Amino acid sequence: MNSSAVVRALGALAQDHRLAAYRLLVQAGPDGMAAGTLAEALEIAPSSLSFHIAQLANAGLVTQRRNGRSILYAADYAAMNALMGFLTENCCGGGVCAPAELVRQTPECC
Amino acid sequence: MNSSAVVRALGALAQDHRLAAYRLLVQAGPDGMAAGTLAEALEIAPSSLSFHIAQLANAGLVTQRRNGRSILYAADYAAMNALMGFLTENCCGGGVCAPAELVRQTPECC
DNA sequence: CGATCATTTCAACTATTATAGAAATATCGA
DNA sequence: TCGATATTTCTATAATAGTTGAAATGATCG
Q: Is the pLDDT of residue A33 over 80?
A: yes
Residues of A in contact with B105 (CB under 8 A): 101-102, 105
Residue whose C-alpha is closest to residue B59's, from B103, B101, B107, B1? B1
Amino acid of residue B92: C
Residue A108 within a domain = no
What is the chain A residue with the closest CA to B10? A14
pLDDT in tens, A68-92: 999 999 999 889 888 887 877 656 6
Residue B87 within a domain = no
Whether B29 contacts B73, CB under 8 Å: no
Residue A100 within a domain = no
State the pLDDT at residue B93.
63
CA of A55 to C1' of C16 (A): 18
Between B53 and B97, where is the model more confident?
B53
CA of A69 to C1' of C1 (A): 19
Residue B19 within a domain = yes
Cα of B72 to nearest chain A Cα, Å? 17
pLDDT in tens, B65-76: 999 999 999 999
CA of A74 to C1' of C15 (A): 31
Residue A102 within a domain = no
Count of CB atoms situated within 10 Å of the CB of A69: 7
Residue A37 within a domain = yes
Whether B86 contacts B1, CB under 8 Å: yes
DSSP chain B: --HHHHHHHHHHHSSHHHHHHHHHHHHH-TT-EEHHHHHHHHT--HHHHHHHHHHHHHTTSEEEEEETTEEEEEE-HHHHHHHHHHHHHTGGGGTS--HHHHHHHS-TT-
8-state DSSP, A62: E
Q: How many CB pairs under 8 A join A and B?
A: 105
Cα of B23 to nearest chain A Cα, Å? 7
For strand D, which residues in window 45-104 of chain B come within 7 Å by CB? Answer: 46-47, 49-51, 53-54, 64, 69-71
Least confident interval from A101-105, B25-29, B55-59: A101-105
Looking at the DSSP assignment, which residues form a beta bridge with residue A70? A67
Count of CB atoms situated within 10 Å of the CB of A100: 11
- Residues near strand C (C-beta below 7 A) are A 34-37, 39, 46-47, 49-51, 53-54, 64, 69-71; B 11, 15-17, 44-48, 51-52, 55, 66, 68-69
Domain count, chain B: 1
B50-82 burial, b at 16+ Cβ within 10 Å, e below that, comes to: eebbebbeebbbbbeeeeeeebbbbbbbebbbb
Alpha-carbon distance B23 to A90, whole Å? 7
Alpha-carbon distance A68 to B84, whole Å? 36
The sheet that has B70-75: what strands, in order across it? B33-34, B70-75, B62-67
pLDDT band at A63 (very low <50, low <70, confident <90, very high): very high
Between B52 and B110, where is the model more confident?
B52
Residue A67 within a domain = yes
Q: Which domain holds residue B68?
A: 3-76
| Strand D within 7 A of A52 CB | yes
Residue A98 within a domain = no
Query: In this structure, what CATH number is given to the domain that contains residue A46?
Result: 1.10.10.10
Main-chain dihedrals φ then ψ at residue A73, nearest 5 degrees: -110, 145
